[in-house]
Structure 1
Amino acid sequence: MVDLEAGTSELFASYEDDFRLAYAEVAQKIDQIPELAAEPRKAAVRAAQRALDEADEIIGQMAIELQNVSSASRAKLNACLRGYRGDLDRAKRDLRKATDQADRQELFGARAKAAGGSGMSGDDLSQDQRQQLLSGTDRLENSSQRLRDSQRLANETESIGANILTDLRGQREQIINSRNVLMEADTYVDKSMRTLRGMARRWV
C-alpha cells in the first residue's frame, strides 16, 4: 500500500525546489535591471514577471497539496508556505521598485539631453518631468492592479481546488460505504438461499 502522506510530502518538497529556482531567477533579473539599457531592461522585467507568475502558481499547488496531509504535518508545512508567500511579496515589491527607479533614471537622462539641445528653460523641463512622472505613476498603478487581480484569481483557484479535493474525499467515502452495504446484502442473500434450499430438501 502506498503511503499517501509520504507521497504528498515528497511532492510538496518538489514544489519547494521549483519555487526556489523561480525565486532565484527573479532575484537575478531584479539585480540586472538597474544596469541595463531600455530594451534589455524591458526584457529582464518581462522575464522576472514570468518567473514571479510561475512562483505564484507553484505556491498555489503547494497550498492544494497541504489539504492531503495530517493536521500535525500541515502546521509545519503551512509555516513554510507563509514564508514563501512573504518572500514572493518582497520580490514583487523589489521588482516594482527596481523598475520604477530605472524608469526615472531613463526619463531624467532623456529629458536632460533634450533640454540641453532644445533651449528649454528649467521651469519647462520641470513641468515636463512632472507630467512624465504622473504618467509613469498611472502606468505603475495599472500594473499593480493587474498584479492584485492575478493574486485574487490565484486565491480563487486555490479555494476551488481545495473544495474539489474535499468533494472527492466525500465521494470516495460514499463509494466505500455503498460497497460495504452491498457486501452485507450479498451475505444476507447467501444465508437466505441456504435456508430456502434446506427447507426445500425437507419438503421433498
Structure 2
Amino acid sequence: MSSERFEDCDDDFKAAMGDIRTDLRVISKRTGEQKKSTIRKLERRAEDAERVLQEMESEAQIAPASFRMSMHSKVVKHRSDLEKAKRELRQASSAASSRDDLLAGGRTYGTQDPAVIEASQRNRLLKGSESLNRASESIARSKQVAAESETIGVETLEELVGQREQLLRAGATVKETDDQVSKAKRILISMGKRVVTDKLIMITIILLELGIIGGVVYWKFFSK
C-alpha cells in the first residue's frame, strides 16, 4: 500500500487543480485589475500545486518497488495536467500584458520616455526568460520521472523473471516429489503383495505340517 502522505498530497493536488481549472474557465470574462488579481491567484496556486507534486515525487522515490510504478504514473499524469494549466495561464497573462501595453501606448503615444519603454521591454524579456526557465525545469523533472519509471520497470521485470524461475523450480520440485510418492506407493504395493504371498506360503506349509502330523498319528495309533 502506498504511503499515507502520498495519498494526502494526491488529494491536495487534485483540490488545487480543481480551483485552477475553475478560475481558468472564467478568466477570459474578467478585465482590468480583476483579471490581474485572478492571474496572480492562479500563479500562487500553480506554485502550491508544484510543491505538492514535488513532494509526491519524493514519496514515490522511497516507496516499495511494487508500488513505485503506479505512484510514478500518477505523478506523470499530474505533471502533464499542471503543465497544461500553466500554458493556459501564461497565455492569459500574455494576453493581459499585451492589452495593457496597447492601452498604455495609446495613452502615451509620442510622449513616453524611451528609458521607460526600454525598461518595459526588459521586464517582458525577464518574464519570458523566467517562463522558459520554469518550462525547462518542468521538462527536466519529467525526464527524470520517465527515467526513474523506466528503472522501476526494469526492476519489476527482473523481479517477475526471478519469481517465474522460483515457480518453475517449485513446479519441478513438486513433480519430483510426486514421482517419489508414486515410486514409494509402488514399492508399498509390491511389499504388500509379497507379505500376502509369504502368509499364504506359511499357511500352506503349516497345513502340510499339520496334515503330516495327523497322518503320522493316525498311522501310529489307529492303523493296527
TM-score, structure 2 as length reference: 0.50
1:45 aligns with: 39
CA distance in 2, matches of 1:149, 1:79: 20
Larger Cα-atom Rg = 2
1:104 aligns with: 98
1:93 aligns with: 87
Q: Which contiguous aligned blocks of 4+ residues in structure 1 show a shift greater than 6 angstroms?
A: 130-133
Relative distance call for 1:104 and 1:133 in structure 2 (3 A) is farther
The 8 Å contact of residues 26 and 49 in structure 1, kept in 2 or not, is answered as no
Shift of 1:147: 3.3
Task: Look up the equivalent residue of 2:52 and give its one-letter code.
Answer: I
Q: Does 1:61 align with 2:48?
A: no
Long gaps (5+) in structure 2: 112-116, 145-224
The 8 Å contact of residues 19 and 59 in structure 1, kept in 2 or not, is answered as yes
CA distance in 1, matches of 2:25, 2:59: 32
Task: Look up the equivalent residue of 2:70 and give its one-letter code.
Answer: K
CA distance in 2, matches of 1:134, 1:7: 48
Q: Does 1:25 align with 2:12?
A: no
The alignment partner of 1:69 has SS state of coil
Long gaps (5+) in structure 1: 1-5, 125-129, 159-204
* Per-residue Cα deviation, 1:96-125 (whole angstroms, up to 9, x for no partner): 11111122233334545666xxxx7xxx9x
CA distance in 2, matches of 1:24, 1:48: 11
CA distance in 2, matches of 1:133, 1:31: 29
1:84 aligns with: 78
Shift of 1:131: 7.7
The 8 Å contact of residues 52 and 92 in structure 1, kept in 2 or not, is answered as yes
Relative distance call for 1:49 and 1:61 in structure 2 (3 A) is same
Q: How does 1:114-193 map to 2 (within 5 A)?
A: 134=121, 137-144=124-131, 147=134
**Number of aligned residue pairs:** 140
The 8 Å contact of residues 29 and 47 in structure 1, kept in 2 or not, is answered as no
TM-score, structure 1 as length reference: 0.54
CA distance in 1, matches of 2:39, 2:137: 17
The 8 Å contact of residues 33 and 102 in structure 1, kept in 2 or not, is answered as no
Shift of 1:150: 7.5
1:15 aligns with: 9
CA distance in 2, matches of 1:138, 1:43: 22
CA distance in 2, matches of 1:150, 1:53: 13
